[in-house]
Amino acid sequence: MTAALSIQNLQKTYENGFQALKGISFEVQPGDFFALLGPNGAGKSTTIGIICSLVRKTAGSVSIFGIDIDSDFPAAKRLLGVVPQEFNFSQFEKVFDIVATQGGFYGMPRKQAEERTEKYLKQLGLWDKRATQARMLSGGMKRRLMIARALIHEPKLLILDEPTAGVDIELRRSMWAFLEEINALGTTIILTTHYLEEAESLCRNIAIIDKGAIVENTSIKSLLKTLNRETFILDCSEYL
Ligand code: ADP
Ligand code: MG
């Protein structure tokens, strides 16, 4: 089976000489709900930046459903939706327009883009805010706005970079429920997080990244078994 995401020996050295990724490899299978867990500075956002071609890699390869991003990025991009860690939309644009305009980037007819915008804004509880400027939204609403925008072309792989950081527990639960629904409908989901609890309640498989290296790549079930061993708890306390 072709992996939804295959990352092989990915390396990144930033311009200042700092090696943020020391040759990481992992695969995510179609339909999976996968966590990339690690403390701040581990290299999660660097990895995602490379996948969506915002960060240039130093070495290694990335393919999305068998499409190498170096050989055909436009084709790979059509299968991929990304919710970045930082808000990256115009604060003065209206919620509806931010989502609908994104459809245009995929060559979607305006009518279809508007229908999907309505669908996803409703599902994410933002329909009442459609005519509001983005700057008026709460942090949790802005995050949901970026999720709606990432779904407009109905990607097969959705990657979210710390989607619930700074979101209160109640909202976090409703966001989790929404992501589970999307996953149940067949979308492969990868999220980065530094909450083990989040990975545990949502995900089936996990990679743990630390200082630019993958230190674990297993199912959540077997990770939790290992975590019961006292030594491992001590070693991994920073992830808890
Ligand atoms: P995470 O998302 O896991 O918190 P990042 O991928 O953002 O980690 O960062 C990994 C490491 O790379 C950190 O030490 C960070 O300071 C460093 N880093 C990130 N961006 C740059 C950059 N543009 N130049 C130099 N170092 C960077
Ligand atoms: Mg990050």
CATH number at residue 210: 3.40.50.300
The pair of structure tokens assigned to 139 is 């942090």
Is the domain of 40 the same as that of 95?
A: no
Which ligand is nearest the CA of 86, by number? 2
Residue from 12, 13, 15, 18 to probe ligand 1 pocket by mutation (most atoms less than 8 Å from CB): 18
Q: Rounded distance, CA 194 to CA 35, Å?
A: 10
Among 154, 178, 208, residue at a domain's last position: 154
Number of domains present in the structure of the chain: 2
Is the domain of 121 the same as that of 162?
A: no
CA of 213 to the centre of ligand 2 (A): 15
Is the domain of 44 the same as that of 104?
A: no
Residue 150 is part of which domain span? 85-154
Q: Please, what is the average pLDDT of the chain?
A: 92
Q: Rounded distance, CA 208 to CA 225, Å?
A: 15
Q: Which residue carries 């327009």 as its tokens?
A: 97
* 171 has a pLDDT exceeding 90: no
CA of 192 to the centre of ligand 2 (A): 8
Q: Rounded distance, CA 21 to CA 147, Å?
A: 26
| Residues pairing with 203 in the sheet | none
CA of 162 to the centre of ligand 2 (A): 7
The amino acid occupying position 129 is: K
Is the domain of 16 the same as that of 68?
A: yes
- Going by pLDDT thresholds of 50, 70 and 90, the confidence category of residue 235 is very low
Average pLDDT on 87-101 reads: 96
Which ligand is nearest the CA of 36, by number? 1
Q: Flag whether 179 is in a domain.
A: no
Instruction: Give residue ranges with CB within 6 A of ligand 1.
Output: 14, 16, 18, 20, 38, 40-46
Picking from 162, 35, 145, 171, the residue whose alpha carbon sits closest to that of residue 86 is 162
pLDDT at 198 (0 to 100) = 87
Is the domain of 143 the same as that of 121?
A: yes
Is the domain of 149 the same as that of 162?
A: no
Average pLDDT on 48-54 reads: 96
ipTM surpassing 0.90, yes or no? yes
* 238 has a pLDDT exceeding 90: no
For 153-164, write each residue's pLDDT tens digit.
999 999 999 998
Q: Which residue carries 């492969």 as its tokens?
A: 188
Is the domain of 164 the same as that of 55?
A: yes
Burial (Cβ within 10 Å: 0-12, 13-18, ≥19) of residue 71: exposed
Is the domain of 28 the same as that of 97?
A: no
What is the model's pTM?
Answer: 0.93
CA of 112 to the centre of ligand 2 (A): 33
The amino acid occupying position 191 is: L
End-to-end CA distance of the chain: 33
- Identify the residue whose C-alpha is closest to ligand 1 atom 21: 14
Q: How far is CA 126 from the centre of its chain?
A: 20
Which ligand is nearest the CA of 44, by number? 1
Is the domain of 75 the same as that of 161?
A: yes
- Atom from ligand 1 closest to the CA of residue 12: 12
* 177 has a pLDDT exceeding 70: yes
Burial (Cβ within 10 Å: 0-12, 13-18, ≥19) of residue 68: middle
Q: Flag whether 204 is in a domain.
A: yes
pLDDT at 229 (0 to 100) = 53
Query: What's the sign of the alpha-carbon dihedral 11, 15, 47, 21?
Result: positive
- Identify the residue whose C-alpha is closest to ligand 1 atom 27: 14
CA of 108 to the centre of ligand 2 (A): 31
Q: Which residues contact 153 (CB under 8 A, 6 or more apart)?
A: 78, 81, 102, 103, 106, 108
